[in-house]
Amino acid sequence: MAYNAIEEMRRYNRERFGADVGPFQPPFFQHGDNPNDLKSAALRFLRCRCEDLLFDPEITEEETRTGVWLGKSLSANQIPYNMQMDVSRLCLEKAVEAFIDSGVAEDAYTVYYCYLEMFMGRYGKSKRMVELLSEYESNGSSLLMKHRDHYSHSVYVFVLGLAIYETNDNFRRKFQGYYHLDAEEPGPDREHRAANLFLEYWGLTALFHDIGYPFELPFEQVQSYFEVDHLTRGKGCPYLVYRSVDTLTALDKEAADRFETIYGVRFSTVSELLAHDITGKLGNAFGFTEEYIRDVIDRKPVEPDRFGFFMDHAFFSAARLYQELREELGAENLMSIHVDALSAILLHNSLYKFSIAFYKDPEKRRPPLPVRLHPLAWLLMLCDELQCWDRTAYGRNSRTELHPMAAEFDFSGNGLSARYFYDLTERDKIDAFKAQYHAWEAGGEAGDPPRLKAYSDMAEKEQRFTADIKKIVDTADIPLDIVPDLRPVDRRNKHIYLSESNFLHLYDFAVALHGRNMPPDTTAEELEDKFAASSLEYQLTGINRAKSFSRYLNALGYFYTDKPVDFEIVTEFGPDDMDVVAPLEHERWVLDHLAMGWRYGTDYETLPLPEDGRTDRGALREQLRRHALAMDGAPTPEELRLHFTSLSEADQDKDWKPFNSMLRLLKKFDGLRIYRL
C-alpha cells in the first residue's frame, strides 16, 4: 500500500462519512520502457520499500488513549502522527524526483532539507553544515586548477545508492546480514525495517560525505597559485596545514563513556574511535594494525607533504559530521551504526585507496573491498566513482575538460549498465583523440596512451574508468558495463535564469516570507519557531515559493544579483508585474499540491464534524487532503491560467502579496538587488 497511514485515514474517513472522500495517494512514477532505470528504482525504493518509516507505536497508543492526534499538518494536532510521517516520506520522494529531473543545486537543497528534518530533528540547527559547502564551492572553487561540484554530486550519490539497494538482491542480503536483520522472521515487515534503516544511515553517509571540502579548498587554492607557474605540486612551495584539530575530534566525557559502553575501549578522540572501528572491520583482511591506521589518520591534516601534498577532505567530513551528531542527537543516542557512517566517510577518498588498498601500486595492491566487510563504505566508494556526470566545473582547467553531461542506468539482473553521454558539439575533440589513440596502437603502443579526461577512461580498450572501480571495490555482486556516447546538450530541465547569487539562502527567505506579517522587532529565532510549527510539507511549500522567485523575475524581464551592474533597479512590483507573477505562483501551488496527492473538493466545508471534538474545519481539510483551490488530473498551462482568473480577488491576492515582501527581504538578508533588463 506504500503510504499505510494515509490509507488508514482514508478507511477511517470512509467509515465515519459513509463515502470515499480521501485522502488519496498520488500516482507513482514508472518509466515506460525500463522499471530499473535510476529514477524508477530510487523512487520505488522510497515508496514501496520504506513503508511505516518513522512510525511510533507508543505515540499511536497515546493517541488512542487520549483521543488527541499528535501529528501536525498546517498546525499541530490536526492529523495522526503516523500520517504526518507518511506525508514527510512523500515529501522526500517528491524532492528526490525533482532533483533527478533537474540536477540543480536548488533541488539538491530540498533533498538535504527533507533528510535533516526527518532524521536530525530540525533543519535550522544544521543549516550551516549544508550551506557552507555550497557557498565555498560557488565562491572559492574558481581559484582552483581542478574542482567540480560536490553538493549536487552528493545527492546523486545518495540516489544511486537507493537504486542499488532497490534492485540488487546481493547487496540487500549482505547489508541485512551485516546488521543481523536476517535473523528476524522473513517477510515484508523485515524488508521494510531493513530498508528504513538503510535509508537513514545511507543518507547520513552519502549526503554528508563531502561536507569537509571547505577545509580542502583553501589548501588547494594555495597549491593552484603555484601550479599556474607549472611548478611541481607542493615541492619547493608553501602549503597549508591545520592545527588545533582536536577542537573537531575531541570526545567529551559523555561521548567517551558512551563509546566505551559500545566498544569496551576508552577513546579520547574521534580519530582513535574511527581507527579502532576501521581496524576491526578491515585490519585482518588488509593486513594493518590499529596503530598504523591511527598514525595515518592523525598525520593527514598536519603533514600533507607525506601524502603527495593533498589534504583529505574525508577526514574533516567525518570529524565535522561527528560534531553535528553529538550536538543534535546527544551522546546517549549515538550508536555503532553512526560510527559505521563516519568510518565509511573517512575511508571513501584517499585513506582506503592509498593507505590501505594501494590500488595504483601493482606491488603493494590489496584485493578490492568486498561488501561484507563494510557495506556502507563499499557502496559509498562505488557510487562516488560512478557519479561523474552533470557536475558543475569550477576549476580553471576543469571548465575546459571533457566530462559526461548526462547518464542513463539500467540496474536489471543485479548488474549495472551505464551509458555516459558527452556533448555532441565536442565531436571534433573526440575524433582527434580517437585518431591519436589509433596511431598509438599502430605504433606498437610505445609510451603512455593519449588521454581525453573522462572520455578516454571509458572509451579506450584499457577501460581505465571501470578498471579503477574494480580495483577499489569488489564488483562480483554488481557486474559493471560502462560505455560512452554522444548526444546534444539539453539544459531545459535545469530552468537556468539570469538571477544569480552566491549567497542566496532559501531557508532564510522562506522563513521570513512565512513570518512577514509578524511585528518588525520579531527575532530570527521567533521566525524560525513559527516556520517549524508547521509540517515538513508546508515548510517545503514556502521553500518552493522562494525557489521560484528567479523564474518569476525572468518572466518579467528582471533579475537579481549581488554584483553591481548598470541596469535599472527595481524597488517595487506594480500591478502589471503582479498580473504576470500571480498566475505563475498559482500554477506552482496547484502543481505542488497535485504532486503531493491533494485533490479538488469542498467536503471539509460541508461534512458533519465528528463528535470526538478533535476535528475542526481546518483539520478536516488536512485529514481529507482536499482543497477548494486545488485541481485534479493533469491541467495544461492554459487551464491553470483560466483557473486562476476564476478565483476571487482575495484568493488571487494570496498569490502575489508575498512577493513585494521579497524585495525588502532580499536586501535585508543577502544584499541583493533586482534589476530590469
Q: How far apart are CA 152 and CA 108, in angstroms?
A: 5
CB-based contacts of 544, cutoff 8 Å, min separation 6? 110, 588, 592
Nearest CA to 100 out of 45, 54, 140, 138 is that of 45
Tell me, what's the pLDDT at 396? 46
Given a cut of 70, is residue 637 above it in pLDDT? yes
234-238, 539-543, 590-594: least confident range:
234-238
Q: How far apart are CA 257 and CA 228, in angstroms?
A: 49
Instruction: List own/partner pairs for 10-15 with CB under 8 A and 24 or more apart.
Output: 13/623, 13/624
Tell me, what's the pLDDT at 99? 94
105-119, 400-414, 498-512: least confident range:
498-512
Residue type, 367: P
433 vs 115: which has the higher pLDDT: 115
Tell me, what's the pLDDT at 617? 92
Tell me, what's the pLDDT at 395? 43
Tell me: the pLDDT tens digits for 22-79?
999 998 877 667 899 999 999 999 999 999 999 999 999 999 999 899 999 999 999 9
Q: Are 155 and 207 in contact (CB under 8 A)?
A: yes
> Highest-confidence range of 184-193, 196-205, 360-369, 429-438, by mean pLDDT?
196-205
Joined together, the cell numbers standing for residue 498 give: 539570469
Q: How far apart are CA 25 and CA 128, in angstroms?
A: 34
Mean pLDDT of the chain: 88
Nearest CA to 664 out of 570, 534, 542 is that of 570
Work out the number of other CB atoms within 10 angstroms of the CB of residue 114: 24
Tell me, what's the pLDDT at 519? 83
Tell me: the pLDDT tens digits for 496-513?
777 776 545 778 778 888
Q: Hunting for cell 478507511 — which residue is that?
A: 11
Buried b (16+ CB within 10 A) or exposed e, 436-455: ebeebeeeeeeeebbebbbb
Given a cut of 50, is residue 399 above it in pLDDT? no
Dihedral of the CA atoms 447, 452, 458, 463 (nearest 10)? 10
Q: How far apart are CA 512 and CA 491, in angstroms?
A: 31
CB-based contacts of 41, cutoff 8 Å, min separation 6? 35, 162, 163, 166, 167, 411
395 vs 534: which has the higher pLDDT: 534
Joined together, the cell numbers standing for residue 500 give: 544569480
Mean pLDDT confidence for 178-182: 92
Given a cut of 90, is residue 593 above it in pLDDT? yes
Given a cut of 50, is residue 179 above it in pLDDT? yes
Nearest CA to 304 out of 253, 237, 358 is that of 237
Given a cut of 60, is residue 569 above it in pLDDT? yes
Residue boundaries of the structural domains of the chain? 113-400, 413-488
Confidence of residue 478 (pLDDT cuts 50, 70, 90): very high
119-128, 189-198, 439-448: least confident range:
119-128
Confidence of residue 447 (pLDDT cuts 50, 70, 90): confident
17-21, 127-131, 409-413, 428-432: least confident range:
127-131
Share of the chain above pLDDT 90, in %: 58
The partner residues of 483 in beta bridges, in order of sequence, read: 419
Tell me: the pLDDT tens digits for 293-338?
999 999 999 998 888 888 899 999 999 999 999 988 999 999 999 9
Using DSSP, state whether 218 is helix, strand or coil. Answer: helix
The pTM is what? 0.94
Q: Are 166 and 43 in contact (CB under 8 A)?
A: no
Tell me, what's the pLDDT at 233? 67
Joined together, the cell numbers standing for residue 437 give: 589513440
Tell me, what's the pLDDT at 503? 46
Share of the chain above pLDDT 70, in %: 90
Tell me: the pLDDT tens digits for 137-164?
555 545 544 545 778 899 999 999 999 9
Tell me, what's the pLDDT at 236? 74
Tell me, what's the pLDDT at 502? 54
CB-based contacts of 269, cutoff 8 Å, min separation 6? 246, 249, 250, 251
